[in-house]
Amino acid sequence: MAKLNTRFHNIKINAKFNTLLILAFLVGIILSGVTLSNVLYQGAQHEISIQAELLMTTMNSLRLYTQDHVNPLLQSQLATAPRFIPEAIPTFSVREVSRYLSENADYKDFYYKDATLNPTNPKDQANDFETELVEKFKLQPELPELTGFRSTENGKKFYTARPFVVKEQRCLECHSYPNIAPKSLVATYGERGFGWKLNDIVATQIVYVPSEEVFNNARRSFFKMMSVVIGIFITVILLINFLLKKVVIVRIRNIANTANAISTGDMSNNFQENSKDEIGLLAIAFERMRASLLIAMDMLNQQQG
């Protein structure tokens, strides 16, 4: 450590200054990078969660519309129609709209599902992952939602899941017992999706939104912004070095060269400085010392003569 300190003290001011400046630059880059990365990551997460919330709200709005407006219009036909009319069921509506949405190239990775443990339509059957979510909601009914990331065949996706609770008696008309359900429903799907009870958690509403592209954009933004920050730091270092050399190093070197010449007996050199800053005051002090030395040498020569 002592040798390192000695070497550091022996190097030139410009090298010392650059060493300290580069260290400060590296610390600044690291801190800036960590801060910027956190900000962009949180921003990406916020954007993804907004997309998921928008999709969930849209599907729930469609569910309410089907339940309040479409279902009453078709209710009288459900009992007498030779075939079941699935358009009267909110779950059918949201599933079909989700399918149409995913057929759009811009939204092919957006997906909504009423993942049910015991569904009437097999298309609503919860997979293993969704079954685990339903079981969590059953164990912790106070949970409003679960969110996270999941790797799928189509890449990493963000999901938002909410418990689906049987809150209305009319839901049990098709899901309590086969003998009170529309005959066309039983004829179409068989004795599936029955045994539901009021206030039971029977499914989870879950939306999947793509996350890889959002995070890729965040990473690209990070590298672009860090390139700008590094470019600014390098420009500042070069500018400071230029000013340091012009304002400090060159002037101090001139003073040192003049002092060396005078020390060897060349009294014709003088300390020329027009500036009144600290280096200028140092040059003036040296000039006064040179003048005093000339006077002393003249007096000594007169005494000897």
Structure tokens at 243: 């000013």
Pair 171, 88: CB distance under 8 Å: no
Note the pLDDT of residue 8: 53
**pLDDT tens digits along 94-116:** 999 999 998 998 888 899 999 99
Looking at the structure, do residues 293 and 209 belong to the same domain, yes or no?
A: no
**pLDDT tens digits along 132-145:** 999 999 999 899 99
Looking at the structure, do residues 125 and 38 belong to the same domain, yes or no?
A: yes
Structure tokens at 121: 């339509």
| Count of domains observed in the chain | 2
Instruction: Name the residue range of residue 181's domain.
Output: 29-218
Calpha distance 279→15 (Å, rounded): 19
Residue 60 has pLDDT above 70, yes or no: yes
Looking at the structure, do residues 259 and 292 belong to the same domain, yes or no?
A: yes
Looking at the structure, do residues 300 and 269 belong to the same domain, yes or no?
A: yes
With vertex at residue 119, the alpha carbon angle to CA 118 and CA 120, rounded to the nearest 5 degrees, is 130
Sign of CA dihedral 257, 258, 263, 265: positive
Overall pTM surpassing 0.75 (yes/no)? no
Domain presence at residue 5: no
Looking at the structure, do residues 76 and 204 belong to the same domain, yes or no?
A: yes
**pLDDT tens digits along 172-212:** 878 888 888 888 888 888 888 888 889 999 999 999 999 88
Note the pLDDT of residue 209: 93
Looking at the structure, do residues 177 and 280 belong to the same domain, yes or no?
A: no
Calpha distance 236→155 (Å, rounded): 42
**pLDDT tens digits along 207-265:** 999 988 888 889 999 999 999 988 988 898 888 888 888 777 777 788 788 788 777 77
Pair 201, 134: CB distance under 8 Å: yes
Residue 7 has pLDDT above 70, yes or no: no
Domain presence at residue 45: yes
Domain presence at residue 103: yes
SS3 letters for the chain?
Answer: CHHHHHHHHHCCHHHHHHHHHHHHHHHHHHHHHHHHHHHHHHHHHHHHHHHHHHHHHHHHHHHHHHHHHHHHHHHHHHCCCCCCCHHHCHHHHHHHHHHHHHCCHHHCCCEEEEEECCCCCHHHECCHHHHHHHHHHHHCCCCCCEEEEEEECCEEEEEEEEEEECCCHHHHHCCCCCCCCCHHHHHHHCCCCCCCCCCCEEEEEEEEEECHHHHHHHHHHHHHHHHHHHHHHHHHHHHHHHHHHHHHHHHHHHHHHHHHHHHCCCCCCCCCCCCCCHHHHHHHHHHHHHHHHHHHHHHHHHHHC
Residue 108 sits in a domain of what CATH number? 3.30.450
Pair 164, 94: CB distance under 8 Å: no
Looking at the structure, do residues 260 and 170 belong to the same domain, yes or no?
A: no
Domain presence at residue 6: no
**Which residue type is seen at 174?**
C
- Token look-up 């407006």 returns 69
Looking at the structure, do residues 110 and 255 belong to the same domain, yes or no?
A: no
